[in-house]
Structure 1
């Protein structure tokens, strides 16, 4: 589990799907190394993990805090600039 401080929580359950990933990536790019945000979703955001891995390889940490079945929470932290 990451020790990064959580800067904010983004609950995407009520956000239109087309707006979710841009909001999540914008939030991530604003983080300084050592900061994190919490993502709350109604399903496993595993495809988002793969997108992070492609866009920001080696510069993020992905830590599940809750794994369903109804609510999924992930702490996403910036580990490098």
Structure 2
């Protein structure tokens, strides 16, 4: 059965930029197949998408839920086929 609960929301706006990617990559590495979280940021995290895709090719989903101008929310999930 699919988990339909609201995914974890991780707000990185309070972290200094250097800590943001470290925290996000930690979350992605710990993410079980089929699970997801929502990233909340103060700018478009598109460069992060390219970095994740380079390091974890075709292993995650990336869906914009909100696109600024003050808040960006992106749902990041580990694909089941990445198991």
Residues 23-53 of structure 1 show CA distances to partners (whole Å, capped at 9, x for unaligned) of: 1010111111100011000110000000011
Matches of 1:19 and 1:27, distance apart in 2: 12
TM-superposed deviation, 1:71: 0.5
Q: Does structure 1 residue 49 correspond to structure 2 residue 42?
A: no
Q: TM-score, normalised by structure 2?
A: 0.87
Q: Which runs of 4+ in 1 moved over 3 A?
A: none
Matches of 1:68 and 1:36, distance apart in 2: 21
Matches of 1:21 and 1:10, distance apart in 2: 12
Matches of 1:42 and 1:23, distance apart in 2: 15
Which ranges of structure 1 fall in alignment gaps of 5 or more residues? none
| Residue equivalent to 2:20 | 20
In the TM superposition, 1:5-16 aligns within 5 A as 6=7, 8-16=8-16
By percentage of residues, which structure has more strand? 1
Which ranges of structure 2 fall in alignment gaps of 5 or more residues? none
Matches of 2:25 and 2:60, distance apart in 1: 12
Number of equivalent positions: 78
In the TM superposition, 1:54-73 aligns within 5 A as 54-73=54-73
Larger radius of gyration: 2
